[in-house]
Amino acid sequence: MTSRFATARACSNIALIKYWGNRDNALRLPANPSISFNLATLYTETTVSIEGGERDGVELDGAPATGDAARRVTEHLDLLWGANRPHARVRSHNNFPMGAGIASSAAAFAALTVAACAAMGHQHAEAALSALARRGSGSASRSVPGGYVAWRDESAYSIASAEHWPLVDVIGVVSAGHKKVGSTEGHALAPTSPLQAARVADAARRFEACQRAVAQRDFAHLADLIEEDALMMHGVMMTSTPSLMYFLPGTMAILHEIRALRERGVEVAFTIDAGPNVHCICAPAAVPAVEAALRGLDGVRDVLTSGIGGPAQVIAQAAG
């Protein structure tokens, strides 16, 4: 069998309104709606080759994948191609530092979905690709469309372009360590927190207010909203059983610094994913001040800066 392959690139994304907990864990249907934007400079490139061998081969950042990581890729190919599928070789590469604590599963499953469908010649609309990516990792649904993205149900969709409001994410990298509890497991713990139901019940308000803030380019409202939303999620995480405590000393140093900057009029606000790193969402004019402030803090190991990225896309392809 002649080789066919496709390579896709998909950006990581940062949620402004967070997804935490599923209403259906198997289908990864979210407990609450979320809003994110893609991160242009933090992306995954994945090549899927249909090679007809004896088994799948999965290579992540140049090393053979084993265990859970390989199994999730293989199961996702089963979902995309069906049970009688050919074997494939999957090579995936993140352009951001390994182990920087940047969530990679969103970009990874978006890129894998788009590459695998293209390699097989499946033509899917963006919504269908987003829904398929979601099955591999919930937030991967948001890395398929470009710009500002909303996700409520089966698939995510763009709500504004990057050009509409070119905000920037300056990431304070606090830890290079691997998470003790991965996101898939973490989402399943969300209902054990006595605060999760209240967080979910209030989510429509935050989602709509965030959509409005994006539409109106209203930084002051966006700032209060994304900080509140992130802190609500971490309130749920900390009070779940077992308790998930992602904040490190460097995390708190950044949070207080960002609030001090905003009090001095700098357009910056923080958000925090399921990890210790802090994403400082800011106006382009604020980037130098935010980068300098982060680099001056104890516990900050690296600073990564990204504008808003476009949709996942096929960047190379060959039919056999």
Stretch that binds its own copies, among 21-29, 60-68, 150-158, 254-262 (CB under 8 A): 254-262
**Dihedral through CA 125, CA 128, CA 132, CA 138, nearest 10?**
110
- Please state, in angstroms and rounded to a whole number, the distance separating the CA atoms of residues 34 and 224: 16
Question: Is there a cis peptide before residue 191, judged by omega within 30 degrees of 0?
Answer: no
Judged by CB under 8 A, the residue of 122, 178, 256, 295 near its own copies is: 256
C-alpha triplet 141, 143, 145: angle, nearest 5°: 90
Q: How many residues bind its own copies (CB under 8 A)?
A: 33
Stretch that binds its own copies, among 5-13, 108-116, 241-249, 285-293 (CB under 8 A): 241-249
Restricted to residues 158-197, the positions that interact with its own copies (CB under 8 A) are 194-195, 197
Nearer to its own copies, 77 or 237 (CB): 237
Mapping DSSP to helix (H, G, I), strand (E, B) and coil, where does residue 7 land?
strand
Nearer to its own copies, 170 or 248 (CB): 248
Nearer to its own copies, 8 or 203 (CB): 203
Judged by CB under 8 A, the residue of 8, 73, 232, 280 near its own copies is: 232
- Phi, psi (5° rounding) for residue 28? 50, 50
Residue 198 as a binder of its own copies (CB under 8 A): the answer is yes
CB within 8 Å of 17: residues ≥ 6 apart:
32, 33, 34, 35, 36, 203, 206, 207, 210, 225, 226, 229
Contact by Cβ (8 Å): 259, 252:
no
Judged by CB under 8 A, the residue of 227, 267, 273, 291 near its own copies is: 227
Residues engaged in binding its own copies (CB under 8 A): 194-195, 197-199, 201-202, 205, 224, 227-228, 231-232, 234-236, 238-239, 241, 243, 245, 247-253, 255-256, 259, 298-299
